[in-house]
Amino acid sequence: EYARALGWSVVAAVGFAFGVGVALKVFDWLSTDINEWEEIKNGNIGVALIFITLIFMVGLLVYKVI
């Protein structure tokens, strides 16, 4: 049981990391008018909240799939 739970934890972590990376890349690719990372560095809370929401939703999706 312990090894099975540990295996699923590793699978979930890898899936989450891959999902978040792909989601952020696609979001960055689709929004060409604005440099999100520069806006976050400048303290734009709105862009940071969009990224937080995106990461959270991908996490929920990965959680439901796994």
Say how far apart CA 1 and CA 7 lie, in whole Å. 10
User: How far from the centroid of its chain's Cα atoms is residue 31's Cα?
Assistant: 16
pLDDT digits (tens, 9 = 90+) for 8-49: 888 888 888 888 888 888 888 888 788 888 888 999 999 889
- Location of structure tokens 């060409």: 32
Kindly compute the dihedral angle of the four CA atoms of residues 39, 40, 41, 42, in this order, to the nearest 10 degrees.
50
Predicted TM-score of the model (pTM):
0.62
Distances, alpha carbon 32 to alpha carbons 1, 29, 44, 66, in Å: 47, 6, 17, 32
